[in-house]
Every structure is written in C-alpha cells, then in structure tokens.
Structure 1
Amino acid sequence: MSSLSVYHVSSPDLPNKVLTHFDDIVATLAEQGVRFDRWQLAPRIVPGASQEEVIAACQEPLDRLMTERGYRALEVLSVAEHHPHEAELRAGLLDEQQQAQAAEWLFVAGRGLLNLHIDDYVYAVFCEKHDLISLPAGTAHWFDMGENPYLVAIRLFANAAGSAPRLTGSELARQFPGLDD
C-alpha cells in the first residue's frame, strides 16, 4: 500500500503526519504541485527485466501517457536483488538532485521510496506497482530502492536532455529514513 510521510527538515526522525489513504496522499501532494495517480497496467513485469522487455510489455499505456503529457524520452530502472550494479545504482539515486524538466515516475513492479524536498518539508512517498507520480521541473528529490532492491520504474521526460540530474550538494537526504528503516 502506498503511503506518504511528511517531515519538517528539522525533525527527520519524526514525521508530522503519515497518510495511507489514496485521496489524502493525492490532496497533500497536490498542495505542493505534485500529481499522484494510479495507472492500471495489465502486463506482469519481473524486476530485472531489460529496458526493451519493459517498454514492449508497457507499450500501449506508455504511448498513451507520453502522448497525453508530451513526453518524448524515458528511462527504465529495473533492478532485482543481486543485480551486478545495485550498489552503484542505489548510491547514484540517494543524493538529492533536480531535473531541469518535469518528470513522471511510473512504478510497474516492486516498490521504492521517492523523497521530495519542498521548502522546509520532506515528502517521503512510498510507491509501488501502479503508482504514477509527477514532479514539477526543479523539484529537489532523492530515491531509495532499498538494500534488497525489487522494482521496475519508468521515468518520463520531455526530452533526453531533461533526464540529466543536477546534484544539489545538500546532505539532507542522509538525515532521513531510507526504505529499509
């Protein structure tokens, strides 16, 4: 079940609120300009599947999403436990970063923790299969796939250049609980 924990940056060990009802998560994130939705995906994709396999299995909903929202580029993050590069992949996503363009994360399988740093708050969104979260351009964020990763997520961008992250240099992400905490 998806959830949202909202923290003040001064209290990373104690969330101000924890939400588990879909409508509450949607409303709280919408106040920050972040869209949260669910997309029913028919195919069963196993974490660790190749980018080509994931795209082929999700082609119809991906085409619809890309057409509706004007996206032209995507990246697939497909990682299962014992992936040969899991430590490097995880480390690269744990640093607070921003993208110049708006981006969407579509969770096809598994789970992950997407943290959004907006003003003086951190919105820790536990995402799982069928979750779709839209980040406005410039939203500071970090992602934790956990110590035993098991996920397939597709990130969508207006163009390939927009997917290049800019690290913020902030150490804030290190202070907050991770997926396995």
Structure 2
Amino acid sequence: MTTLTVYAETDASRALNHLQDFGAIRELLAGLGVEFERWEASRPLSATAAPEEVFAAYADAIETLKKKYGFVTVDVVSMHPEHPNAAEARGKFLAEHTHDDFETRFFVDGAGAFYIRAGGKVYQLICTQGDLINLPANTTHWFDMGPKPNFKAIRFFRIPEGWVGRFTGDAIAERFPKYEAAA
C-alpha cells in the first residue's frame, strides 16, 4: 500500500502525519512540487525479469512519458532478494543526493521508499506497483529498497548519461526509519 509519513527533519522518532489515501498523498506532494500519479502496472513479469522484458511489457507507457517530458534515456532497475549487488545498490541510493534534472520513476512491480527532505521535514513515501513519481530538479532525497529488495522501476532521464547523483554528504538518512520498518 502506498503511504506517506512526515517527520520533522530534526526528530525521526515521531511521525507528524501518516497518510494512506492516494488523493491526500498526491495533494501534499504537489505542494512540494512533486508530481505523483497512479498508472496501470499489471503486466506479468518474473521475479528476475530482464530489462528488455520490462521495456517490452510497458512500451506504450514508456513512449507516452518520453513524448510528454522529452526523455532521451530510459533504464530499468530490477532488484530481487537474491540479487548479487543488492547491498551495494542499497548503500548507493541510501545516501542523500540531488539531481540537476527532475527524477522520474514508474514502479511496475514491488515497492521501495523515497525520502524527500524539504521545508524542515522529511517525507517518507512508500511507492508501490503503479506509482509514478516525478521529483523536481535539485530535490534533496534518498531511496531505500530495503535489505531484501523486491521491485522493478522504469527510470526516465532527459540527459544521455542517465542517473547522475550529486551527493550532499549529510548522513541524515542514517537517522530515519528504514524502508523495512514501514513495509
């Protein structure tokens, strides 16, 4: 289930708000400049589906988004509990960072947690199958896939290099509840 939990950035021990209603989540995120939508994501995929299989299953959605936003690069992050690089990948995305371009993710299977730091608060957004998120450029955030990741997300970029993170060096992510605590 998609959820949004809000914390003061100085106090990770107590949630200020917890939302489960998609409309309320979308409205709150819109106030941060974050676009959040629900898309159809019901194509059958195996746990270890290759990126090519995901591209083929979601070709129409990919083309729609490429045309709408001018994306030039698309890739797939496909993680499963036995993935050989799961711990390394988790560590990379758990570090707080920004991007020069907006960041778009379409979750076609499984779930993971985006953490958005804005206005003195941290917003923990559990994204699930069918969720599409667009973070504005320079949004301070991190992503937690959990210790046993299980998700497939299509990532979209307007730059040929694809994912380029600018890490802040702040260890804030270490102080907030991890994905597995909310899942």
* TM-score of the pair, normalised by structure 1: 0.96
Q: Matched residue of 1:14: which SS? A: strand
- 1:79–1:162 CA distance, 2 compared to 1 (3 A): closer
The residue that corresponds to 1:9 in the other structure is: 9
Q: C-alpha separation between the residues in 2 aligned to 1:71 and 1:6?
A: 30
Give 2:117's aligned amino acid: H
The residue that corresponds to 2:98 in the other structure is: 98
Structure 2 alignment gaps of length 5 or more: none
Alignment map for 1:70-109 (pairs within 5 Å): 70-109=70-109
Alignment map for 1:64-75 (pairs within 5 Å): 64-75=64-75
Q: C-alpha separation between the residues in 2 aligned to 1:128 and 1:70?
A: 25
Alignment map for 1:17-166 (pairs within 5 Å): 17-161=17-161, 163-166=163-166
User: Could you tell me whether the CA contact under 8 Å between 1:103 and 1:134 is conserved in 2?
Assistant: yes
* TM-score of the pair, normalised by structure 2: 0.95
Structure 1 alignment gaps of length 5 or more: none
User: Which moved further from structure 2: 72-81 or 13-22?
Assistant: 72-81
Give 1:20's aligned amino acid: Q
User: Which moved further from structure 2: 44-53 or 140-149?
Assistant: 44-53
By how many angstroms is 1:130 displaced? 0.1
* Deviation sequence 1:16-56 (CA, Å, 0-9, x none): 10000011001100011001110013412234321122111
Q: C-alpha separation between the residues in 1 aligned to 2:43 and 2:10?
A: 42
Q: Matched residue of 1:24: which SS? A: helix
The residue that corresponds to 1:176 in the other structure is: 176
* Deviation sequence 1:88-135 (CA, Å, 0-9, x none): 111111000111101111000000011111131111000100000110
Calculate the aligned-residue CA RMSD, in Å: 1.1
